[in-house]
Chains A and B, each alone.
Chain A
Amino acid sequence: MIYGDRNTGVLVQGATGKQGEFHIGLMNAYARQVGGRGVVAGVTPGKGGQQVHGVPVYNTVKDAMKEHDIGSAVIFVPAGAAADAIMEEANAGLTTIVCITEHIPVHDTMKAIAYARTEGASIIGPNCPGLLSPGEVKMGIMPSGLFSRGNVGVISRSGTLTYEVVDELTRAGIGQSTVVGIGGDPVIGQTFVDVLERFEKDPQTKAVVLIGEVGGNLEEEGAKSTDLPIVSYIAGVSAPPDKRMGHAGAIVEGGEGDARSKIARLKKHGVPVASRVSEIPEMVRELFRCRC
C-alpha cells in the first residue's frame, strides 16, 4: 500500500455537498466490504454538528482532527474554494490530501501546492479520481467493482481510461496493488516521479502501468526515475496541436508534449508502450515473464 491502508481514517472536505455526500456513501460501503475505517469525519464550514451517512461533520479540519484519528483527506469542494481547502488541511497537519475538484485556476493550484510543500503535505490531484488500494482503502471516486488485489501498480493522468485499464487487468487475472489517478491538470501535486518513488518502497508492487497523455513530459521524467518494470500507454496520438483534449493539461504546446515523441522517448528508455489499451495485460505478463 502507498498513501494509506484499511487503518487510515479519511476526512472528506465538502461533506454536505451533492458529490461529497454521494461519495462518502460509496467510500464507506467499500470500507465495510474490506473491514476498513473509511470516512470518519466530514468538514463543511457552517454545517458543523450535522451528519452525512452517520459521519459527523465539523466546521473546520482542526475541529475534526481533535475528535478523530485522521490520516488523509479527500476534497470535493467547488473550484473557487479548493485551493483554500488544500491549504487548510496542510496547515492542520494532514500529509496526504486528495483533491478531486476540477477547473481550479492553475495559479491557485500552484500557490496551494507551494504552501503544502512548506507544511510537508503531499497533494494528489487536483482534477483526479483519487486512489484505490484493492482490499484496503478507497480515497476518491473510483468504481471499486472493477478492481482486484495484486501486485501491479497503476498511475494515470486520467479517470475513466484508468478504469478501462483496471478492468482489462482484472479480466486478465492481473490484480493491482494501488491505482492512483494523479490528475489531468497542467500543475498537479504528486507526479509520476513521486508515485513511482512510493511504489519502489512498497513490497507489494512488482510492476507498474503508467498511463499518460499529451502535454508536458512528466511521463518521461517518471520512467527515467525508477528501476521498477513499467508498461506504458499514452493517449492522444491523434490529438491536433494547440487543442485542449478535455483535460486542462492535455495540450500539445509549442511543438512539445505530443504523444508520438513522448512514446519515442519512453521506448528509447526501454519502456514498452502499448498502442491499444487492450494490449496492456499481455505486455504486463511479458514483464513478469522476463523477470522469471
Chain B
Amino acid sequence: MKLREYEAKKVMKEAGIPVPAGVLIRLADELTPHIGELGDAFVLKAQVDVGGRGKAGGILMADKNTGRAVAEELFGKQIKGLPVHEVLAEQRLTIHHEYYLSITVDRSSKQPLILFTEAGGVDIEITAREHPELIRKATPNPLMRDIPSFMLRELVGTAPKEIGPIINRLYRVFIEKDALLAEINPLVTTPIGVFAADAKIIVDDNALGRQGFTVNRGLSEREREAEKHGFSYVELDGAIGVIGNGAGLTMATLDLIEYYGGKAANFLDVGGGAESERVMNAVRLVASVPAVKVIVVNLLGGITKCDEVAKGIIAAGISQKVIVRLAGTNEAEGRKLLSEKGYEMLDTMDLVVKKAVEVTA
C-alpha cells in the first residue's frame, strides 16, 4: 500500500530526514493561519492515491496573496477522476541541485537495493536506460541495522557528504516500516540545506497489520470485499468473469481469453482447499460486476474438492451463464452435481475459454 506524500514525509521527518515546512489542509480556509510560516511562495499538492498527479494538474504554485484562491481551485478539481480531500501546502525551495535516492527489494540478490544518482531531475527510468553508469548501487546485508560507512561513501561519491546520513536514515525507514519502496525523488540541495522535496513509501501488504494499518487503501471497494473473504481479486474491463484456484492458473486463464480474442472482466483466485461457501461467495462477487456476461470457472483440484466447488456454484444461483472446467479430487461427484442442474462443463481450459469468448462475441 502506497502512503500519501504527507504520511511519507511525516515518517521521514521522524527519522531525521529534513523535509520542507508544510501543513496538511482539508479546507481552503485552513490555509490562512499558516501562510506566514510557509514563507512568501509555496506549493499546493493534492494528496490523492494516484500516480502522475503533477501532469494531471494536482500540483499548483501559490504565494501569500493567491494562496487561498489557489487552494479553493485545487479542492474543486478532480485528479484523474478522484476528488481532492486533502492538500499539502509546502514551502517552496530554492533548488541548487536535484539527486535521486531510492531503496527497493532486489529479487536477484534477495537484499535491499539502494540506488543513488547525482543526475537527478529527470526520469530515473530514462537515466537507467541511457546512462546506467551514472547510477550508483549498493545491496546491504538485511541482517545489519545500519549501512556500513564504506558503502555510504561509495554511494555518495562526489555529492555533498551530508547525504550519507540521509541514505542511512532512509534505510532505517525502509527496514522499520516494512517498505517495498522508500524513495526521495528529488533529494535537493538548497541554500538552507538538503531536503527530501518529495517522498514515496510503499508498505508491504503482508505487513500492514503490524504497521498499524487496518484498511488497505490501495484496493477498490470490490477488491476490499474480496480481501475480506481471503480472495485475490483484480478488476479488468472486459465481459468474462474469471475464477480459478491459484494465482498462476487464474492468470493463465486470463491470458487464454486474450489469446482467443476475448476480454476478461476480472481475476479471482479462490486459493487452495476452497469449500462450497467460499466458492459461492466468489461466484457472487464476480457476478456482481455489471459488465460480466459469462463466468469461466477453471479449477484444478488438488486439495480443492470438485464436489465442494460444484455445490458452491449451484448455491450462488446467479443469472449469468457459468462455464466450468473441473479436474482432480472428487471430479466425478462434482460433474454429476453440475450436470444434474444443467451447467455447461468442458474438459480443458482451452475449451471453456473458447466457449466463453464465443458467448461474449
Contacts and interface: CB of A to CB of B under 8 A. Distances in A.
B105 A187 contact: yes
B252 A240 contact: no
Contacts of B125: 254-255
A65 interface: no
A132 B141 CA distance: 32
A277 B107 contact: no
A218 B107 contact: yes
Contacts, number: 165
Contacts of A246: 232, 234, 246-248, 250-251, 267, 269
B349 A277 contact: yes
A146 B303 CA distance: 13
A239 B303 CA distance: 26
B300 A163 contact: yes
B147 interface: no
B205 interface: yes
A159 B251 contact: no
B361 interface: no
B114 to A, nearest CB: 14
A283 interface: no
A184 B248 contact: yes
A43 to B, nearest CB: 22
Interface residues of A, number: 63
B252 A110 contact: no
A291 B349 CA distance: 31
A218 B206 CA distance: 22
A113 interface: yes
A64 B209 CA distance: 33
B206 A237 contact: no
A216 B267 CA distance: 21
Interface string A184-214: 1011110100000000000000000001011
User: By CB atoms of chain A within 10 A, which of B112, B234, B251 has the most?
Assistant: B251
Interface residues of B, number: 51
A276 B251 CA distance: 12
Given A107-B178, A110-B112, A238-B255, A249 B246 contact: no
Given A236-B255, A239-B254, A245-B267, A106 B247 contact: no
Contacts of A247: 247-248
Contacts of B210: 105
A182 to B, nearest CB: 12
A6 B238 CA distance: 48
B247 A250 contact: yes
Contacts of B303: 22, 141, 143
Contact of A236 (B143, B245, B251, B328): B251
Contacts of A92: none
B248 A160 contact: yes
A218 B348 CA distance: 29
Contact of A216 (B107, B301, B349): B107
B91 to A, nearest CB: 29
Contacts of B329: 143
Nearest to B181: A253
Interface in B259-278: 259, 264, 267, 269, 272
B111 A114 contact: yes
B143 A114 contact: yes
Contact of B248 (A79, A106, A162, A276): A162
B246 A275 contact: no
B166 interface: no
User: By CB atoms of chain A within 10 A, which of B110, B256, B257, B348 has the most?
Assistant: B110
B16 interface: no
Nearest to B238: A238
Given A238-B264, A245-B234, A255-B125, 10 more contacts: A114-B111, A114-B141, A141-B302, A160-B246, A161-B249, A162-B248, A235-B248, A247-B247, A277-B252, A278-B350
- Can you list the 6 inter-chain pairs with the closest CB atoms, starting with the nearest? A246-B247, A158-B248, A160-B246, A161-B248, A143-B302, A246-B232
17 contacts: A105-B178, A106-B206, A110-B110, A111-B142, A114-B111, A114-B143, A115-B143, A159-B246, A159-B249, A159-B272, A187-B107, A188-B110, A213-B248, A218-B107, A244-B232, A255-B125, A278-B350
Interface of B: 51, 105, 107-108, 110-112, 125, 141-143, 175, 178, 180, 204-207, 210, 232, 234, 236, 244-252, 254-259, 264, 267, 269, 272, 300-303, 327-329, 348-350
